[in-house]
Amino acid sequence: MEFKLSEKEEAFKSEVEAFLKKELPPKWPEMSTHWPGGYGSLESTNEEAVKAAFTFRRRLAEKGWLTISWPKEFGGEEHSYMEQAIFDERVSYYRAPGMGIATGIAGPTILRFGSDENKQDWVQTIAKGEIEMWLGYSEPNSGSDLAGIQTTAVDDGDDFIINGQKIWGTIAHLADYAWLIAVTDSEAPRHRNASLFIVDNKTPGVTIRPIINILGIHSFNEVFFDNVRVPKRNMIGEKNMGFYYMMTALDFERLMVGIGGFKRLFEQFIEYVKQSEQDGSPLGKNHTVRKKLAEIAVKIEMVYIFFWRTASMLDKGLVPSVESSVLKLTATELSRALADVTMEILGPYGQLMGGSKDAQFRGMAPRGYLDCISATIGAGTSEIQRNIIAMRGLGLTKK
């Protein structure tokens, strides 16, 4: 048992840190309004930030860090999970644009299960950061019950013909391709009836409509597929293996909880509290304020420990299924707790969204208060995570 980074890991951490300080624009911390755990804020809300994010991703690709976990033969860095964790921690600490769906999910899945054609078609472009994808999983009638999807892909000569509707599709309007799951065998049992596809957003029959989230930002979309022809070579791996590949891809996503963002935001709020007064007394001397902030500090420490534990298990070849649910659940509930506490401490000033001279803490708290709602819902609700812990972890049964 060892609760510290090894020398090699420390050196890697310093390298990542130096890179981030050099490559991010100096004004980045003010540009980014992301709330840790939330899905609603995007750096793409203003043009300057979009450009900065684009340039930064390019630099990451050049450095080889977009494909940090990939095998060397495909241009990857083959870093350990612990090093990936260190990378994710630092990147999210600086709120820097990190891996997307293409590099985080599609790439590793293709490397593991894809056909030779799949690899030839996609691996290089993904590795270079040339394309971005959106996740076509959820449907209007299939949220937590993902196996209930109704979008179909029917075999027709050299193509599949896709019909149906996907929802949420975060940044679908800014991405190039869908990473889509659709039913390919309506007779087969649930979980063994669907396949994964890469679908070009520009294919005739694809209609992307914006969904404006409660922050007023266009982050989500509903996407309609009306007789969309997709070449067969765009099916990933084998037919009807979609859910299996999707579950395995969780391995690659397990550490992507944006852990550093929690610490960064908390540190900034602590600084704010130290410099603020309430009714003429230092805000940080208020007993309730101290207690609430200390509770958050403990929760952050806890999520960090769960984070390192998950990485440590992955490096030992263990599959952290329950542990990663614990990590996801505690991290996203921390998103909520952090929003609650900052808002409670700001009291009436928590209503001010920014712009006004009396708005506190850059108006981050009220934005976070809205954004955090998505944290405990997206990528498996807190209830689904608890089901996984209870059933898969403790062996409690459905009936």
Partner 1 sequence: MDLEFTKEQKILKSSARDFLKKECPSSVMREMKEDEKGYPEALWAKMADLGWLGVMVPEAYDGIGGNFMDLAIILEAMGEVCCPGPFFSTVVLGGLAILDAGSEEQKKLLLPKLANGDLILTLALSEPGAWYGTSVINVQAVADKDEYVINGTKLFVENAHIADYILCAARTDKGGSPDEGITLFLVDGKSKGITCTVLDTLAYDKQCEVVFDNVRVPADNIIGENGKAFSVLENLQEKAAVGKCAEMVGCIQTAFDMTVAYAKDRKQFGRPIGSFQAIQHHCANMVIDVDGARFITYQAAWKIAEGLPTSMEASMAKAWTSDASRRVTFLGHQIHGAISFCEEHDMHLYYRKAKAAEVAFGDGDYHLEKVAQQLGL
**Distance (Å, whole) CA 241 – CA 232:** 15
Q: Token pair of 52, please? A: 């900065």
CB-based contacts of 183, cutoff 8 Å, min separation 6: 149, 150, 151, 152, 153, 193, 194
Q: Positive or negative CA dihedral for 230, 233, 239, 240?
A: negative
Q: What residue type is assigned to position 193 of the chain?
A: N
Q: Which of 102, 172, 257, 311 binds partner 1 (CB under 8 A)?
A: 311
Place of tokens 């996203």: 332
Contact 320, 310 (CB under 8 A): yes
Show contacts with partner 1 in window 352-391 (CB under 8 A): 383, 385-387, 389-391
Report in angstroms how near the CB of residue 331 gets to partner 1 at its nearest: 11
Report in angstroms how near the CB of residue 320 gets to partner 1 at its nearest: 11
Q: Which of 78, 290, 344, 347 binds partner 1 (CB under 8 A)?
A: 290
Q: Which of 82, 162, 178, 194 binds partner 1 (CB under 8 A)?
A: 82
Q: Which of 256, 302, 352, 377 binds partner 1 (CB under 8 A)?
A: 302
User: What are residue 235's DSSP bridge partners?
Assistant: 197
Type and span of the H or E element at 304: helix 287-315
> In this complex, which beta carbon is closest to partner 1, that of residue 234 or of residue 312?
312
Interface with partner 1 by CB under 8 A: which range of 16-24, 154-162, 212-220, 303-311?
A: 303-311
Show contacts with partner 1 in window 142-171 (CB under 8 A): none
Beta-sheet pairing, 133-136 with 152-156: unpaired
> In this complex, which beta carbon is closest to partner 1, that of residue 140 or of residue 393?
393
Q: Which of 121, 163, 284, 377 binds partner 1 (CB under 8 A)?
A: 284
Beta-sheet pairing, 177-183 with 133-136: parallel
Contact 350, 342 (CB under 8 A): yes
> In this complex, which beta carbon is closest to partner 1, that of residue 314 or of residue 370?
314
**Distance (Å, whole) CA 308 – CA 5:** 10
- Going residue by residue from 325 to 344, which x/- string records binding to partner 1, judged by CB under 8 A? -x--xx--------------
> In this complex, which beta carbon is closest to partner 1, that of residue 150 or of residue 286?
286
Q: What residue spans of 94-189 are helical by DSSP H? A: 101, 107-113, 116-127
> In this complex, which beta carbon is closest to partner 1, that of residue 4 or of residue 357?
4
Residue ranges that bind partner 1, judged by CB under 8 A:
1-6, 9, 82, 270, 273-274, 284-285, 289-291, 293-295, 297-298, 301-302, 305-306, 308-309, 311-313, 316, 322, 326, 329-330, 383, 385-387, 389-391, 393-399
